[in-house]
Amino acid sequence: VSGEPAPLTRAERKRAEQAEELRTEIIDAAFIEFAENGYHQTTISDIATRLSISSGTFYNYFKNKRDIVDYVIDRLTSQLLAALAADNPADVASTAAEYHEQSKRIAGAVDAVLDADWRVPRMLLFEATSIDAAMTQRVLEIFDLARQAASAYLQNGVRRGFLRDDIDIGATADAITGLMISVAVRSLSSRLDSDARRRQRETVIELLMNGITARR
Amino acid sequence: VSGEPAPLTRAERKRAEQAEELRTEIIDAAFIEFAENGYHQTTISDIATRLSISSGTFYNYFKNKRDIVDYVIDRLTSQLLAALAADNPADVASTAAEYHEQSKRIAGAVDAVLDADWRVPRMLLFEATSIDAAMTQRVLEIFDLARQAASAYLQNGVRRGFLRDDIDIGATADAITGLMISVAVRSLSSRLDSDARRRQRETVIELLMNGITARR
Amino acid sequence: VSGEPAPLTRAERKRAEQAEELRTEIIDAAFIEFAENGYHQTTISDIATRLSISSGTFYNYFKNKRDIVDYVIDRLTSQLLAALAADNPADVASTAAEYHEQSKRIAGAVDAVLDADWRVPRMLLFEATSIDAAMTQRVLEIFDLARQAASAYLQNGVRRGFLRDDIDIGATADAITGLMISVAVRSLSSRLDSDARRRQRETVIELLMNGITARR
Amino acid sequence: VSGEPAPLTRAERKRAEQAEELRTEIIDAAFIEFAENGYHQTTISDIATRLSISSGTFYNYFKNKRDIVDYVIDRLTSQLLAALAADNPADVASTAAEYHEQSKRIAGAVDAVLDADWRVPRMLLFEATSIDAAMTQRVLEIFDLARQAASAYLQNGVRRGFLRDDIDIGATADAITGLMISVAVRSLSSRLDSDARRRQRETVIELLMNGITARR
DNA sequence: GATGAATGAGTCTTCATTCAT
DNA sequence: AATGAATGAAGACTCATTCAT
């Protein structure tokens, strides 16, 4: 027995690539349909027809309709984790100004991920919770991820002294997550352009930093 | 044909009351099922069985399955409008402190409406968007209502000088709406008790007023 | 709470009767189709079409296609038990002649049950084993029933001394069961008339009693 | 075009042998699956997977799924004919004792054929009748073969005077066939070992020869 | 000859809705 | 007004078979 799997021949490699390509096309087609008509209103045959493939072919690539959503959540989760973690360690900011900058950077990175295919967050926010309890759970877990990240950043700020030491970190992290989601929902509802989205992000961050009360 | 409807007899009145009662019971049963299993997973027969009525009777009270959601959105919208408008004219606050108090009052009133039957906001947030585009629109209109209300309050504060005059009112109203929704989602996800919800509301309002930045 | 279920009204009784009637018609239609085209080749829609009902109606009466077979096996098993046990206690025969008579009586009773709807044994013998393992098990259990009955009768005969005391009761009971089944298969394959079936039964019983060897 | 097929080269002969070998492996794999899961529950892909070949290859060796059963019935029929006819001409026995010996010999030969691959008779008895009418017919023809053979042996015995001259040869041949089948079913249901099978055969033959009635 | 992806016809099954009683 | 059986359109999913590589 060999410890290595047999290396792929050229033909096998090509076939595998084409398979991966079709898989991606199916995901895209599915999400276009989901976005246009909703998950429950979309049939496998709608997806297949859009690609001019047969409905049976769908099942060569995904176990069932639900499976495609699972697959995409996996992908999105890792993309978000990458965007968050990448070059943004929680403890890098040492002043409010640096924190402000970092927040804008992270918000921009998250926005970039979500904007790359806006149908994915749309699906997650508007439809996933209606698929079944397990899927709802998966979405809530993504929110939890955001909450934990926000907590870590807040803790750093409080420790360093540039954030108020009387804030309730948990509740504030919740609020920040909520703000992020609401910005996302807003973008999705009205399909803002990238500039409008940037302005909205910055307004929200500024609001978060300084509140709305007038200073004398 | 008579120009006037005949006045109701006692028996007719009683019958009408019973009908209204059953209509309410159907709504309640439906929302319990929707909350437990989701809109799409709930059948008319599930709802009927819960009430020991026949599925046919459902259709004497509602045009179809979707209709019951419409009906509830109508009810919720007017309840929210009542809670918001009632004793909270936008121009009543003249200091930041009064504004703070007013905000807590309004948030409490909204919470009371939502908490009276938490299944209703759950439905709206988690399922309505998956029913169809029109239903999604209706939910977004409720959000719009909140946005408009928030705008009015913010405008008053800026005009009176107790809120910063450099805030972007539209974006800030969006943010406030987002915060409200996220507080609601959080409550629904983890079923917080009334005290925990109050604390969360107040944290968020305080955050909104003063931001998270430490003051020297 | 009352110990009694509410008595049925006249209307309810009528409805229940009609339901039972349709249920029977569905069974009959199903078995006609099974007999003509085989279980696997028969679709629910074939059955429904034959009765001019919709395919959905089938599912108001049976859980699925397999369920109808289960239902019929239940019915057949109790009919066979009734036919066997009824007036044929194992110990009633005290001479070979009485035993011979009893055998013919029992064989006749079993034949009457099977002939009442020959499609049922056809189904069981020719198709049930192909449905699934559980169904095969159910059929084998019926054979076991026959084996046990045959054993009891043989034991009585050996004890009373009118049957050979050197026979292997288990193997002989197996053989008798096999003979019964083969007579049934033969009938089903060529649709013998009632007279031919009686002759066949008697030949087999005579053979069983005396063997084929010539006596000097 | 040449009038003669070109003689096979060594390489061609080898290839043909390998092809024949794979064909046999496919049959074996198919019957293992059929025995485990039933004909209808077995997919071509199940068979292919078991052999680590592709499903397409199956179709290079068999016209379709049903074809493999036909093929096996052909093979079994000729094996049974060989076993029966080989060294057992119908007129060889001239005494009851010789007849008894011959019966045991034939039964043993048949058993050897069936036992060589018990999945084949299992398939025929339990599944073939559910494939389609033509397949059922083929199985019944095999039974007919048995019936004809039994008739011939009985006739010889009656003519020679060592079998009773009052037996109904047709019905008795039927009964003998039924006994053979029932012995087979019994073996298949409980997977008896070769010794138990031999004992069962001999019991049945003895029963057939002498009946169960006690002789004074 | 081998491969396995693509095909699409074929079925079961569900369920919102209707309507005769 | 209540009932609940009947309806049948709709859709997910399977799998024998084909065929380009």
Distance CA A136, CA A128 (A): 6
* C200:D171 CB<8 A: yes
The residue with greater pLDDT, C102 or C7, is C102
- Among C153, C150, C142, C195, residue whose Cα is nearest residue C176: C150
Residues of C in contact with D185 (CB under 8 A): 178, 181
* A207:B172 CB<8 A: yes
Count of CA atoms in the C-beta half-sphere (13 A) of A157: 28
* A211:B214 CB<8 A: no
Distance CA A75, CA C78 (A): 58
Provide mean pLDDT across the span B86-103. Answer: 86
Distance CA B75, CA B81 (A): 10
- F4 C1' closest Cα residue: B54
- Residue C173 phi/psi, 5-degree rounding, is -60, -40
Q: For CA atoms B31, B35, B39, B43, give the dihedral sign.
A: negative
- Strand F contacts in B 88-147 (CB under 7 A): none
- Residue B163 phi/psi, 5-degree rounding, is -115, 150
Neighbouring chains of A at 3+ CB pairs within 8 Å? B
Count of CA atoms in the C-beta half-sphere (13 A) of C137: 3
Task: Retrieve residue A154's tokens.
Answer: 């807040």
Query: Which stretches of chain A score pLDDT less than 50?
Result: 1
C51 strand F contact, CB < 7 Å: no
- Strand F contacts in D 58-87 (CB under 7 A): 58-59, 64-66
For residue C213, what are the β-bridge partners? D163
Helix (H) or strand (E) holding B14: helix B10-37
The distance (Å) linking the CA of D44 with the C1' of F16 is 8
Q: Mean pLDDT in chain B?
A: 87
- DSSP sequence for D31-48: HHHHHHH-TTT--HHHHH
Distance CA D78, CA D208 (A): 27
User: Which of C38, C186, C212 shows the shortest C-beta gap to D164?
Assistant: C212
- E7 C1' closest Cα residue: A54
The distance (Å) linking the CA of A183 with the C1' of E2 is 55
Provide mean pLDDT across the span C130-147. Answer: 87
Tell me the pTM.
Answer: 0.85
Q: Mean pLDDT in chain C?
A: 87
Specify the residue for token string 């936008």: B90
DSSP classification of residue A95: S
**pLDDT digits over B64-87, tens only?**
999 999 988 888 888 888 887 776
Determine the pLDDT at residue B4. Answer: 62
- DSSP sequence for B155-196: HHHHHHTSB-TTS-HHHHHHHHHHHHHHHHHHHHHHT--HHH
Residues of D in contact with C215 (CB under 8 A): 164
Specify the residue for token string 């009946």: D211
The distance (Å) linking the CA of A127 with the C1' of E8 is 30
Residues of B in contact with A212 (CB under 8 A): 154, 157, 163-164, 167, 172, 208-209
- DSSP sequence for chain C: --SSPPPPPHHHHHHHHHHHHHHHHHHHHHHHHHHHH-TTT--HHHHHHHHT--HHHHHHH-SSHHHHHHHHHHHHHHHHHHHHHTT--TT---SHHHHHHHHHHHHHHHHHHHHHTTHHHHHIIIIIHHH-HHHHHHHHHHHHHHHHHHHHHHHHHHHHTSB-TTS-HHHHHHHHHHHHHHHHHHHHHHT--HHHHHHHHHHHHHHHHH-SBPP-
Determine the pLDDT at residue B124. Answer: 85
Task: Retrieve residue B19's tokens.
Answer: 């009908």
For residue A65, what are the contacts with CB-CB under 8 A and spacing of at least 6?
A39, A42, A44
Determine the pLDDT at residue B24. Answer: 92
Residue C4 has pLDDT above 70, yes or no: no
Instruction: Say if residues D212 and C167 touch (Cβ distance below 8 Å).
Output: yes
Residues of B in contact with A208 (CB under 8 A): 207, 211-212
Chain A: closest CA distance from residue B82 (Å): 24
Q: Which nucleotides of E are covered by protein (CB under 7 A)?
A: 1-21
**pLDDT digits over B121-178, tens only?**
888 888 888 898 888 888 888 888 888 989 999 999 999 999 999 888 988 898 888 8
Distance CA B44, CA C168 (A): 63
Instruction: Say if residues D131 and D123 touch (Cβ distance below 8 Å).
Output: no
The residue with greater pLDDT, A26 or B216, is A26
DSSP classification of residue D161: T
Report CA B152 to chain centroid distance, whole Å: 19
Residue of A nearest to B190 (CA): A140
DSSP classification of residue B28: H
* D200:C140 CB<8 A: no
Distance CA A58, CA A53 (A): 8
Chain C to chain D Cβ contacts (< 8 Å): 153
Instruction: Say if residues D68 and D30 touch (Cβ distance below 8 Å).
Output: yes
Task: Retrieve residue D84's tokens.
Answer: 């029966």
Encode C72-100 in three state secondary structure.
HHHHHHHHHHHHHHCCCCCCCCCCHHHHH
SS3 A7: coil
Where does residue C8 rank: exposed (0-12), middle (13-18), buried (19+ CB within 10 A)?
Answer: exposed
The residue with greater pLDDT, C54 or A136, is C54
- Strand E contacts in B 19-78 (CB under 7 A): 41-45, 55-56, 58-59, 64-66
Determine the pLDDT at residue A186. Answer: 79
Query: Which stretches of chain D score pLDDT less than 50?
Result: 1
- E14 C1' closest Cα residue: C56
Distance CA B2, CA A197 (A): 60
The distance (Å) linking the CA of B134 with the C1' of F11 is 23
For residue B213, what are the β-bridge partners? A163
Determine the pLDDT at residue A1. Answer: 45
C-alpha gyration radius of chain A:
21
* B178:A177 CB<8 A: no
Determine the pLDDT at residue C191. Answer: 80
Determine the pLDDT at residue A127. Answer: 85
The distance (Å) linking the CA of C142 with the C1' of F17 is 39
D54 strand E contact, CB < 7 Å: yes
SS3 D1: coil
Which nucleotide in the DNA or RNA is closest to residue C54, CA to C1'?
Answer: F7
Provide mean pLDDT across the span C99-125. Answer: 89
Which nucleotide in the DNA or RNA is closest to residue A23, CA to C1'?
Answer: E5
Provide mean pLDDT across the span C144-171. Answer: 90
For residue D86, what are the contacts with CB-CB under 8 A and spacing of at least 6?
D109
Task: Retrieve residue D186's tokens.
Answer: 């019994």
Residue C26 has pLDDT above 90, yes or no: yes
- F15 C1' closest Cα residue: D43
Provide mean pLDDT across the span B17-27. Answer: 91
SS3 D163: strand
SS3 D213: strand
- Strand E contacts in A 7-66 (CB under 7 A): 15, 18-19, 22, 52-57, 59-61
Q: How confident is the model at residue C1 (pLDDT cuts 50, 70, 90)?
A: very low
B3 strand E contact, CB < 7 Å: no
